[in-house]
A and B are shown apart, each in its own frame.
Chain A
Amino acid sequence: MSGVSSITSRSVALPIANIDTDQIIPARFLTTTSRAGLGRHAFQDWRWREDGSANPDFALNRPEHAGAAILIAGDNFGCGSSREHAPWALLDAGIRAVISTAIADIFRSNALKNGLLAIVVSPLEHASLLAAAGEALTIDLRAQRIARAGHAPIDFTVNSFARQCLLDGVDELGYLLARQDAIARFEEARP
């Protein structure tokens, strides 16, 4: 995984509450044994029409949002299944950060392990970001701050361990493998 320190992009809003992992990627696309190539199925049933053409009303399909990498989602994003295919699909579709008032636990954990920033802001800040959707934002992970032109910056928190892993571009497996002695001691001490 390559490191993530800051993301600058225009935002795109998807102001729907409780966007679940079945909307992010429907189960019928989970039959893959790889993690690649899921981007075209991100928000499949909202994004593509029956004949395979793009739904012109869906925000991510609109020309003015092309290339937008920061998604401002409605309350409680990512509820539902544990499928890591959800952050894989979003990243593959070019989304690098999701901002909401609440993000489901498993989705958030999965996202951060893959370099997708999952950021929780207050309802007031969220409303302001939604109202200004399309604006250019810079998310500075080290400073834990979202910089905006013409608006006060927004501070957020990502837990320090996940933040350091993201900044350094390292994954947790290396950290766990370095502690195999402690694991062995724990196993030996158990009844």
Chain B
Amino acid sequence: MTATTLFEKLWQAHLVEADTDGLPAMLYIDLHLVHEVTSPQAFSLLRERGLRVRQPSRTLATLDHSTPTTPVRADGSRTYLDTATEQQVDALIRNCSDFGVSLHGYDSPDRGIVHVMAPELGATQPGMTIVCGDSHTSTHGAFGALAFGIGSTEVGHVLATQCLLQHKPKTMAVIVRGQLPVGISAKDLTLHIAGQVGVAGGTGHVIEFRGDAVRALTMEERMTLCNMSIEMGARAGLIGADGTTIEWLRGRRQVPQGDAFEAAAKHWRWYRSDDDARFDKTVEIDAGEVAPSVTWGIDPGKVIAIDAPLPALSASNARAFEYMRVTPGALITGVRVDVVFVGSCTNSRINDLRDAAAILAGRRVAAHVRMLVVPGSERIKREAEAEGLDAVFRTAGAEWREPGCSMCLGMNGDIAKPGELVVSTSNRNFEGRQGKGVRTVLASPATAAASAIAGVITDPRRYQQEAAA
């Protein structure tokens, strides 16, 4: 038998009809995640055509994008940005009730950012196909699942038929050899790879992250890496299932329990590429070369090591320099910071909060800096509070918020002011993403925390070394 890629195994296992004569393949979807922003038009489509949700049990909804992260009032009510955001949330609550879809709303102790919550519940499992009307669905690829973002029309297709028409993408291997230096996080690795591959390097491809340095990552770190596959243009990101995957899933609510878990785990282990599998494209990365990394431009492919000088001015980057107001050839460290955001489906998990807290403990956020820490889910919020991380953030002068997408895209009103510079642990530094005219520098939680204390973009190793000394 020929060696097969993980992608090929996932694709073949979900073909209702293979592609033929120019017709796309019909792919079965195991898990459909739904949130309030991209679903209302899809539910309207179902109503217009008199259709029902084919598989409510394979559909899981949450509230995350438009939800306030400010404190809940004593009567349980929340302060929305405006009536539109509140109506959008109400529409999903009503749609889930009308169509029999399970919703983790405000009454659920599990509510969270869709790509944080589904793995926590064990809804995300190896060997699955997973879609959501959200491009960061690529996050779930960390579990050896084929997971990708879709538009609202396709959300309607999946609600009505549990299937999607798809043209087969190509495969790309990103092999990360060696070992990450001490103190270098998965976000640094992810940004480093995005800088190497570029924002369109993965277009038309599914990326599989491979190599010793990827195997050594925890599940949370693997999620950070797969999360940003879309920022490399890729349709999806994948990491083969292994012992780390299986142990992380053991005991979670939606996975089989007891002997049934062992049987499932045996099946899951098959979801990895065979040793000699061939890819359409391969990129090799040396983990040992990865430094704390940040973006400096207006797309996630413009990445530098934090201690390296900015590139020289050229026709292709002039627009980025003009918008970001940084100096060609200069260092990015020392640039004044106005806001620091720790959160998003990229970096709002417990390890991310611990990384930020480790640097903030016993220190203060600079007087001119506003810092928001937004946990990815209710579960992470409780866990962080049990560890006392919320106290560390509050004592340092940061705001400790309710879970949600928050300032990653600012739909709920968590935005910065025009011209401000945000050091953000999220995934996109597009113009205006965090508010009109706002400049975003993507970074790890450690870099974000260090920059909050110093009030300027700062290499986190400065504080990590102090702590060690």
Task: Count chain B CB atoms within 10 A of each CB in A26, A105, A179, A186 and give the residue with the most.
Answer: A105
Within 8 Å of chain B (Cβ to Cβ): is A117? Answer: no
A33 touches B41 (CB 8 A): yes
**Given that A35-B41, A102-B200, A159-B167 are contacting pairs, would A110 and B151 also be in contact in the complex, using a CB cutoff of 8 Å?**
yes
- Mostly helix, strand, loop or mixed at chain B's interface? loop
Within 8 Å of chain A (Cβ to Cβ): is B84? Answer: yes
B14's nearest neighbour on chain A, judged by CB, is A186
B38 touches A83 (CB 8 A): yes
Within 8 Å of chain A (Cβ to Cβ): is B178? Answer: no
- Taking the closest CB of chain A, its distance from the CB of B223, in whole angstroms, is 18
Within 8 Å of chain B (Cβ to Cβ): is A177? Answer: yes
A82 touches B200 (CB 8 A): no
**Given that A45-B436, A183-B161 are contacting pairs, would A109 and B26 also be in contact in the complex, using a CB cutoff of 8 Å?**
no
Please tell me which one of the listed residues B24, B85, B428 contacts residue A80 in the complex, with CB atoms under 8 A apart: B428
List B residues 429-453 near A (Cβ within 8 Å).
430-433, 436-437
A104 touches B233 (CB 8 A): yes
Segment at the A interface, from B152-160, B347-355, B368-376:
B152-160
Interface residues on B, range: 35 or more
Chain B residues in the interface with A (C-beta under 8 A)? 16-17, 22-24, 26, 28, 37-38, 40-41, 44-45, 49, 51, 54, 65-66, 82, 84-85, 87-88, 91, 133-135, 137, 149-154, 156-157, 160-163, 165, 167, 169, 199-200, 203-204, 230, 233, 235, 298-299, 301, 316, 319, 409-411, 428, 430-433, 436-437
Chain A residues in the interface with B (C-beta under 8 A)? 16-18, 20, 22-23, 26-28, 30-35, 45, 75-76, 79-84, 102, 104-106, 109-110, 113-114, 159-161, 171-173, 175-177, 179-180, 182-183, 186-187
Q: List 29 contacting pairs A-B, 8 Å CB cutoff, sorted by A.
A: A18-B200, A18-B298, A20-B430, A22-B409, A23-B431, A28-B411, A30-B37, A31-B37, A31-B84, A79-B233, A80-B230, A81-B134, A81-B149, A82-B137, A84-B133, A84-B152, A104-B203, A106-B150, A106-B151, A109-B151, A110-B153, A161-B22, A171-B153, A172-B157, A172-B165, A173-B45, A173-B156, A183-B16, A186-B28
